Structure 1
Amino acid sequence: MGVDWTPARVRAGVDANELAALIAEDARLNHLHGRGADFAPGVTWQQPAPELTELWHDTNRRLRACLEIPVDGEGYWYSFRVAVIARNPLFPEEWRDAAWTTLPPARAAAEVTRWHHRYAEVRDGLRPTPAEADLEWAGDFFTWVRPWIDDCYGLYLWS
């Protein structure tokens, strides 16, 4: 099972501070559960305590309740792998590390713009292409995400 972004809008009436707190807690708990974590050679991931797993599920349910998530004609969420940014050496390490979270609409627009700018610089030969960078996959992502961003959607992280 992978980790994906799916387009999402914030429901009317959701408190911005509550949403920000839920996103931060969800990101923290995702990391504790191995989503987005890179472990050094020889370091083994340890399953968090059951109460942390329940807190993670509860936090994610509360976050999801704040969002409107569109579905396709078959009832499935639209999605794209977070790894397109988070595991792609095309982008600086700190950007990749920061990608493992839900991005509300304004932040999603800013991040996608920044990521696309870097992608375009490399694609157009203005920056060297990092070893193992996946330009084609990144291009597919920008084609997928741009209409959602233009329609004021954010990106909800789910796994």
Structure 2
Amino acid sequence: MPAAVRDVARRDPGELVRLTRAHARLAHALGSTLRTDPPEETSPPEETGHDAILARWRELDERLCSLLVLDQDRSHRVGVIGGNPVFPPEWRQAAWATLLPDELAGWAVRWRRWYAETMAGGFRHYRDRLRTWDTSRLLAETQEDLLTTAQTTLDRTNAWTRRPAFVEARHRVFALPAPPTAPSPGPPPLTVEDDRAEPGQREHREAVTRHGELLDQAARAFSRVVPGAFKRHPPALPVAEEGVRDPWVEEFFDWLDPVVRAGQGLYLWI
């Protein structure tokens, strides 16, 4: 939600910065944000245990809110940036934080420029690596869930677990090779001219695509022969689309403009 900085907070801007960083770090630790985990993880909190982390977060949140003027009648979901595969993973992660006015002004320019360039077909090589990286992570999560589900059937004695079609489908799941690990896409290029393909980029994409097909086939075969509670339907994988506009992002930009013009920041409300 929009947040203005109180005059009292301007006496020690360093405290405000430290508070926003710790506030975001603890929110991640509580699992209250959509973690996209870019190549560099958020530092783990010094506190351990959910109750201790929550107590510390509440303490910091109270202090942070005392230094800000919150516009509680206006808010927007962070996921428009923080969960959007259009944007680089580092940028998604950075969105899950309270952004002070100067920070927000800078991010607003970057978000808009990136979105406009990608809609125009820019950063093609980087976006190809990003899509491969996102897909490889999604495949790993999907396969882990499928394997866990198949393993839970080992102790079942129902009639359907003795059918040859089920035994074959479960074996197919267990026989899946480990999903390929794609490297992170690297830092986002500063300009379209800086966007270049990297060695092995096509090979990584093809390996991930092949594995996605294997996993999809195994999941569908398994789901055809098990009761509803055990069925697993692979999620839709990211696809290469050029110039497909995102109404949610564009609505967010319209919502954000007056916030930036008013010299406000954004408070992370969880």
* TM-score category of the 2 structures, normalised to the smaller one: 0.7 to 0.9
- Between structures 1 and 2, the one with greater helix share: 2
Unaligned 5+ runs, structure 2: 38-47, 132-237
Aligned partners of 1:119 and 1:135 also within 8 Å: no
Separation in 2 of the partners of 1:83 and 1:56? Answer: 21
Separation in 1 of the partners of 2:58 and 2:245? Answer: 32
Cα-Cα RMSD: 2.2
* 2:120 aligned residue: 124
Letter in structure 1 aligned against 2:249: A
- Between structures 1 and 2, the one with greater strand share: 1
Which secondary structure does the structure 1 equivalent of 2:90 belong to? Answer: helix
Asked whether 1:31 is paired with 2:33, we answer no
Rg larger for = 2
Separation in 1 of the partners of 2:62 and 2:250? Answer: 31
* 1:52 aligned residue: 53
User: Please, which of 8, 13, 19 is the counterpart of residue 8 of structure 2?
Assistant: 13
Separation in 2 of the partners of 1:109 and 1:143? Answer: 14
Q: How far apart are residue 127 of structure 1 and its match?
A: 4.7
- How far does the alpha carbon of each residue in 1:105-157 deviate from its partner, in whole angstroms, 9 at most, with x for none? 00000001100101111233445587478721110100000111011010111
Unaligned 5+ runs, structure 1: 1-5, 40-46, 71-75
How many residue pairs get aligned? The number is 142
Which runs of structure 2 are paired with 1:39-78 in the superposition (5 Å)? 48-70=49-71, 76-78=72-74
* 2:110 aligned residue: 114
Aligned partners of 1:91 and 1:118 also within 8 Å: yes
Separation in 2 of the partners of 1:24 and 1:142? Answer: 24
Identity of aligned residues (%): 37
Compared CA separation, residues 78 and 56, structure 1 to 2 (3 A): same
Which runs of structure 2 are paired with 1:71-110 in the superposition (5 Å)? 76-110=72-106
Q: After alignment, is 124-133 or 92-101 more displaced?
A: 124-133
Separation in 2 of the partners of 1:50 and 1:22? Answer: 19
Letter in structure 2 aligned against 1:10: V
Aligned partners of 1:27 and 1:100 also within 8 Å: yes
Structure with the larger RCO, 1 or 2 (CA within 8 Å, 6+ apart): 1
